[in-house]
Amino acid sequence: MKTLLQLNTSLFADNSQSNRLSNEFVAAWRDANPDGKVIVRDVAAEPIPHLDGQRFGAFLSKPEDRTAQQQAVVDFSDTLIEELRNADVIALGLPMYNFGIPSVLKAYFDHIARAGVTFKYTETGPVGLLTGKKVYVFATRGGKYLGTPADTQTGYVRDFLRFIGMSDVEFVYAEGLAMGDESKTAALAKADEVIRELAAPLREAA
């Protein structure tokens, strides 16, 4: 049975365009995988605590030395990582806030990047341990930044996912959503078309 993990990061819930695009893809994936399992992790609705010294110290502590509070921190991180480990496909909704990724997504990343668990260092450099997964990123922006220095998201998200072993990453963009109704309509229509193209092979394989 295949598993898809949907990661929602938008502050706007049902009014979110990144969630809408992600939902559109997930619906197509469900059609192609009627016996599949979808797990939804909404880190905006249920925010993950931002990393601080105490939480990071819990990750570094030896299991036998952990306090109950530290063990709870590690257990929560392990839950997030297990969701990723069990997923074949990840659908990530990615709005742009103030030229960056949502802070709740950064907190999520900080809780799943664990040496010896999701990556390891070798003599030739880091090696990601969460391999064999396909990631779809649904990136929505008020302005138009793709291909410019202001697009701080694409490279960062690609690099982070590759660092933990996920190198098969595909982006779907909807830009210019705050630049008038015509721009918004055109951007969403283009994104919808890309999603239909992505979904076609899924249906053919079903």
Residue 1 is labelled as binding a ligand? no
Phi/psi of residue 95, nearest 5 degrees: -75, 160
Q: In this model, does residue 201 exceed pLDDT 80?
A: no
Tokens 């909704």 locate to 93
Residue 143 is labelled as binding a ligand? yes
Residue 142 is labelled as binding a ligand? yes
Phi/psi of residue 38, nearest 5 degrees: -115, 125
Residue 98 is labelled as binding a ligand? yes
Residue 140 is labelled as binding a ligand? yes
Asked whether the beta carbons of 49 and 134 are under 8 A apart, the reply is no
Integer Cα distance of 191 and 186 in angstroms: 9
Residue 108 is labelled as binding a ligand? no
What is the per-residue pLDDT across 40-62, written as a single tens digit (0 to 9) for each? Answer: 999 999 999 999 999 999 999 99
Integer Cα distance of 67 and 98 in angstroms: 38
Residue 96 is labelled as binding a ligand? yes
Range of the domain at 193: 3-205
Q: What average pLDDT does the structure give for the chain?
A: 95
Residue 77 is labelled as binding a ligand? no
Here the tokens at position 199 are 């979904």
CATH number, residue 48: 3.40.50.360
Residue 116 is labelled as binding a ligand? no
Residue 61 is labelled as binding a ligand? no
Please give the tally of structural domains in the chain. Answer: 1
Percentage of the chain lying above the pLDDT 90 cut: 95
What is the per-residue pLDDT across 72-130, written as a single tens digit (0 to 9) for each? Answer: 999 999 999 999 999 999 999 999 999 999 999 999 999 999 999 999 999 999 999 99
